[in-house]
């Protein structure tokens, strides 16, 4: 198949949407498909361009695939304005510049005759060009929702106008119904899309994944312990990932202060993002907290194994609008999780027996959960084993991507047959 991907975030970004979009494209290309991606220059989660990239020039890349791969993978980078703090109308401008600049490389792909044109959300701004190219080339139009960004924007108060909310939601519903397939990463998010008008025939569950052979429990302590000078008997509570507004990082500051008297608990905060400077300032000179920058992919397993307890805060108003992408790696590392998730949310359900869920914003409960796991090694081991088992069964990369590949091929075949059927019935096609 020829698969065209429209994704503002893409490899070599190491986290979130860019990580999964890139891994998906590489896997499909390695399977023998011809894949092309239209993306911005890599900049996430630091919100700074990677060295060697420009935010104002187009650039074409041909990525190297594993030896023996029969497919190809090309990436078209588009000019994109990258704000340091992507909030409110700055975020709109950021998305709009990519949306506008991506029209040209997207339209030129019509002559490549793709079988599937796949848009990854965020950003929903890519809907017009994705639908246009799909219709003009006779391809399947597919939307994959990593993040319900429209809902999140209003829930996080980036925009507060009720009139604007109603108008945007109406437009979103119209555009959603125009896609042949709409997939998302959790059952609850698929349900949310159904409430927006996506039919059962359109819906596909396409969860995030993890390479469980690359991310696995280490038999010896992580090298990071020695590098950071962490005593063997200390308990490491690790947050690793994007440092943005919707992560609810304020809770970590309050919880670490609440447990400052426990000198044996070391809090490690690893990552980058638009909220990091504020986060660092809030932590101040706390002696029980260490910050790390984003680590390279080849050290991810060592980083995740640094934790005795993983931390997964999340704002309550973003519950079930996003499913934390970092959860797959956390579970695969075989460590328990302390998360904020309201009762009945999909995250809370997924963590049953594998960690402890507390109500979003409840600092006391979150700190008590960390303390409970810190003081009970047997519980940590048992929950970590359950997390690892769950990851190997439900987050297996090859199985998830194989099912997705089948869905792509079935949708593409259906589209072609429908197109031929329509042509055979048209007056032009009649003898």
DSSP per-residue string spanning 181-247: EEEESSHHHHHHHHHTT--TTTEEE----B-TTTS---SS--HHHHHTT--TTPEEEEEEEE--GGG
pLDDT digits (tens, 9 = 90+) for 192-232: 999 999 999 999 999 999 999 999 999 999 999 999 999 99
Q: Which helix (H) or strand (E) holds 279?
A: helix 276-283
Domain count, the chain: 2
10 Å CB burial of residue 191 (0-12, 13-18, 19+) is middle
Q: Are residues 116 and 228 in the same domain?
A: no
In a domain, 218, yes or no: no
In a domain, 374, yes or no: yes
At residue 54, the pLDDT reads 94
Cβ 395 vs Cβ 208: under 8 Å = yes
pLDDT digits (tens, 9 = 90+) for 355-385: 999 998 899 999 999 999 999 999 999 999 9
Q: Are residues 72 and 201 in the same domain?
A: yes
Which CA distances in Å does 228 have to 111, 225, 236, 431? Answer: 54, 5, 11, 78
In a domain, 187, yes or no: yes
Q: Are residues 412 and 337 in the same domain?
A: no
Q: Structure tokens of 3? A: 């698969």
In a domain, 217, yes or no: no
pLDDT digits (tens, 9 = 90+) for 85-142: 888 788 889 999 999 999 999 999 999 999 999 999 988 899 999 999 999 999 999 9
In a domain, 216, yes or no: no
Q: How far is Cα 231 from Cα 226, in angstroms, rounded to an integer?
A: 8
Cβ 149 vs Cβ 124: under 8 Å = yes
Average pLDDT taken over every residue of the chain: 90
In a domain, 298, yes or no: yes
Q: How far is Cα 370 from Cα 373, in angstroms, rounded to an integer?
A: 5
Q: Structure tokens of 119? A: 């848009």
Q: Are residues 377 and 409 in the same domain?
A: no
Q: What is the mean pLDDT of residues 72-89?
A: 92
At residue 156, the pLDDT reads 61
Closest to 422 measured CA to CA, from 138, 167, 91, 196: 138
Q: Are residues 379 and 415 in the same domain?
A: no
Q: How far is Cα 424 from Cα 269, in angstroms, rounded to an integer?
A: 61
At residue 429, the pLDDT reads 33
Q: How far is Cα 13 from Cα 29, in angstroms, rounded to an integer?
A: 18
Q: Are residues 105 and 131 in the same domain?
A: yes
Q: Are residues 401 and 390 in the same domain?
A: no
Q: Are residues 148 and 294 in the same domain?
A: no
At residue 162, the pLDDT reads 76
Q: How far is Cα 25 from Cα 34, in angstroms, rounded to an integer?
A: 9
In a domain, 110, yes or no: yes
At residue 345, the pLDDT reads 84
Q: Are residues 187 and 82 in the same domain?
A: yes
Q: Are residues 109 and 171 in the same domain?
A: yes
Q: Are residues 187 and 284 in the same domain?
A: no
CATH of the domain at 335: 3.40.50.2000
Domain span at residue 319 reads 223-394
> Beta strand 289-292 with 265-272: parallel, antiparallel or unpaired?
parallel
Radius of gyration of the chain (CA): 22
At residue 337, the pLDDT reads 96
Give the CA count within 13 Å in the CB-facing half-sphere of 333: 26
Q: How far is Cα 137 from Cα 130, in angstroms, rounded to an integer?
A: 11
In a domain, 133, yes or no: yes
Residue 352 is given by DSSP the state B
Q: Are residues 375 and 327 in the same domain?
A: yes
């Amino acid at each position: 198949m020829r698969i065209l991907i429209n994704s503002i975030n893409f490899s070599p970004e190491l986290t979130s949407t860019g990580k999964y979009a890139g891994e998906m494209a590489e896997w499909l290309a390695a399977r023998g498909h011809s894949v092309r991606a239209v993306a911005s220059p890599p900049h996430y989660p630091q919100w700074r361009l990677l060295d060697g990239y420009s935010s104002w020039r187009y650039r074409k890349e041909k990525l190297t695939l594993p030896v023996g791969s029969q497919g190809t993978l090309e990436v078209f980078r588009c000019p994109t304005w990258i704000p340091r703090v992507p909030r409110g109308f700055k975020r709109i401008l950021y998305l709009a510049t990519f949306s506008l600049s991506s029209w040209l490389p997207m339209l030129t792909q019509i002559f490549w005759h793709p079988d599937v044109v796949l848009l990854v959300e965020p950003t929903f701004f890519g809907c017009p060009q994705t639908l246009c190219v799909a219709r003009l080339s006779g391809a399947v139009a597919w939307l994959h929702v990593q993040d319900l960004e429209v809902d999140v924007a209003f829930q996080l108060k980036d925009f507060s106008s009720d009139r604007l909310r109603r108008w945007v939601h109406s437009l979103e519903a119209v555009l959603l119904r125009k896609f042949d397939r709409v997939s998302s990463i959790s059952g609850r998010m698929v349900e949310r899309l159904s409430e927006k008008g996506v039919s059962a025939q359109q819906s596909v569950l396409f969860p995030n994944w993890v390479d469980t052979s690359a991310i696995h429990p280490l038999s010896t302590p992580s090298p990071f312990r020695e590098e950071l000078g962490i005593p063997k008997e200390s308990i490491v509570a690790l947050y690793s990932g994007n440092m943005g507004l919707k992560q609810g990082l304020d809770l970590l500051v309050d919880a670490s202060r609440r447990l400052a008297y426990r000198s044996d608990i070391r809090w490690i905060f690893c990552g980058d993002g638009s909220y990091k400077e504020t986060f660092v300032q809030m932590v101040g000179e706390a002696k029980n907290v260490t910050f790390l920058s984003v680590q390279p992919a080849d050290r991810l397993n060592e980083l995740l194994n640094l934790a005795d307890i993983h931390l997964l805060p999340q704002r309550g108003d973003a519950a079930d609008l996003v499913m934390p992408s970092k959860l797959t790696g956390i579970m695969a590392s075989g460590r328990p999780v302390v998360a904020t998730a309201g009762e009945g949310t999909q995250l809370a359900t997924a963590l049953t027996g594998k960690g402890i869920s507390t109500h979003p914003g409840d600092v006391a409960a979150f700190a008590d959960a960390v303390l409970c796991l810190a003081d009970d090694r047997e519980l940590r081991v048992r929950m970590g084993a359950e997390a690892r088992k769950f990851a190997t069964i439900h987050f297996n990369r090859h199985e998830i991507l194989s099912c997705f590949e089948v869905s792509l091929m079935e949708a593409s075949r259906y589209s072609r047959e429908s197109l031929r059927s329509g042509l055979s019935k048209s007056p032009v096609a009649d003898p």
